[in-house]
Amino acid sequence: MVDDSIHILLIEDDSGHTELIQRAFEERGNGVCLTAVSTLAEARACLMNLQPALIISDWRLPDGEGSELLSEEHQHLPCPPIVIMTSYGNEHDAVESMKAGALDYIVKSAESMMDMPHIAERALHQWQILQEQKRMQRALAEQEAQFRLLAENSSDMISRHNMQGDFLYVSPACRTLLGYEPAELTGQPVIPLIYPEDTNTFLELLSSPTRESPTAALSYRARHKNGGFVWLETTVKIIQNPNSEAIEVQASSRDITERKQSQVELQLAHMALQDAYDRTIEGWVRALDLRDQETEGHTQRVTEMTIKLARRLGCTDEELVHIRRGALLHDIGKMGIPDQILQKPGPLTEPEREIMRRHPQYAYQMLSPIQYLNQALSIPYYHHERWDGSGYPHGMKGEEIPIFARLFAVVDVWDALSTDRAYRKSLPAREVIEYLEEEAGQLFDSDIVKIFLDMIANQ
């Protein structure tokens, strides 16, 4: 129902019709403020001081037609929505009045005039809808203008795509990034521009967007018009309708080719440095083998076997790097042992054995200042510690001993007992296995011994 805060201007030169319409509003009892005039001149004068919510006007008036209020020459006047009435309605007049901007067209009759409050209510509701639509259209137009202003002045390539990946819009920056004119890409699919190995990530994004994570960043190679490829970093936003259905993809892309090249160069430099580190370690090991010919080949054997055991224990690739270095350097401390002790052909005396036992500490002194060997140091420093605390140099027990050192200790003893030494012959494999089984839980970590022996049995 129209409420009493609504002011309506009625323009009607027939007093009988005016009275009928006034009575209809009064009978509704809604207190609508209705102002009635009989000419266009009076209406224009009224509009100078009054802003009604609605005008109800006769089509033909003594000084003109009611539709003149809709004409261009009167647009400077504050003209609200207008409902046109006529006693001589025809289809042509109806169409013309609606084209001129009338909100509704009513053929006069006793029934229509008595129903005018309802007609006014319907017209005002329709006007509110139209005004809201216009407001939304203006807002969308402003957003579109802002989007284009930003897009066309951005060094990043701004693009819009349907859910199949076709370009709906692409900003001028595509000339700089990919060598194409915007018109060459608009309407075309994006997938052929993407390097084949990089398409899956993009396709997965298009096929499974979610409300929780509608935005994502992708790095991929895109084909330049010259036939080469450039690296792009693209921030993608999935646009969804109120039903959470994906309807559009908006993207912002920038060239990161130089960054990628720098990363590759940095990675190659890192690999070269790692290679230099490993070659240095191997050089140290060869130098030690030249001094201690008795154990020649021992280092390579225990290193390979230690890596196999570490893999069985579930060590990561990064851990394997440190384990390999530690295994290669496990006896590097012997570089500090005098030749007469290190190269002695027979068993060592107790004082000589005491000096020999210093090699883990020498290893620590040599390697601890070298940062990249910090995680590998546990094997050279602790591989002579024993599960029951009887080892050296610290007498550590159980799980106090680093895991790398515990697994290496098993491999080291296996190889030492399985190969000839100047002062004794190698033991048969069966005896070495029995020894490890007997000392599991005493000298060695029993879990590691079990896994090691299973590995030996199945190699």
pLDDT tier at 27, thresholds 50, 70, 90: confident
Confidence (pLDDT) at 74: 46
Which residue carries 């509701």 as its tokens?
A: 125
246-255 vs 157-161, strand pairing mode:
antiparallel
Q: What is the pLDDT of residues 257-310, one digit of tens each?
A: 888 888 888 888 888 888 888 888 888 887 777 766 655 678 888 999 999 999
* Predicted model pTM: 0.51
DSSP codes of every residue in 192-242: GGB-GGGHHHHHHHHH---SS--EEEEEEEEE-TTS-EEEEEEEEEEEE-T
- Residue 149 falls within a domain, yes or no? no
Same domain, 413 and 383: yes
Instruction: Tell me how far apart the alpha carbons of residues 449 and 453 are, in angstroms, rounded to a whole number.
Output: 6
Q: What is the pLDDT of residues 106-139, one digit of tens each?
A: 888 888 888 888 888 888 888 888 878 778 777 7
- Residue 2 falls within a domain, yes or no? no
Residue percentage of the chain with pLDDT more than 70: 87
What does the buried/exposed string (b/e) look like for 391-407 if buried means 16 or more CB atoms within 10 Å of the residue's CB?
bbbeebeeeebbbbbbb
- Average pLDDT (336-352) is 86
Q: What is the pLDDT of residues 57-106, one digit of tens each?
A: 888 889 888 778 776 444 555 568 888 888 776 667 667 777 767 778 88
From 234, 255, 276, the end of a domain falls on 255
Q: What is the domain range of residue 277?
A: 262-457
Structural domain count, the chain: 3
Residue partners of 238: CB distance under 8 A and separation at least 6: 205, 209, 214, 215, 246, 248, 249
Instruction: Tell me how far apart the alpha carbons of residues 356 and 392 are, in angstroms, rounded to a whole number.
Output: 11
Same domain, 192 and 64: no
Same domain, 158 and 87: no
- Residue 1 falls within a domain, yes or no? no
Cβ pair 206, 249 in contact under 8 A: yes
Which has more confidence, 388 or 155? 388
Same domain, 251 and 266: no
Q: What is the pLDDT of residues 199-231, one digit of tens each?
A: 887 777 666 555 555 677 888 899 999 999 999
Same domain, 108 and 249: no
- Average pLDDT (419-442) is 85
Confidence (pLDDT) at 274: 82
Confidence (pLDDT) at 421: 67
Confidence (pLDDT) at 1: 45
Same domain, 18 and 96: yes
Mean pLDDT lowest for which of 124-133, 155-164, 304-313, 388-397? 124-133
Cβ pair 418, 376 in contact under 8 A: no
Instruction: Tell me how far apart the alpha carbons of residues 67 and 85 are, in angstroms, rounded to a whole number.
Output: 10
Q: What is the pLDDT of residues 179-198, one digit of tens each?
A: 999 999 999 999 999 998 88
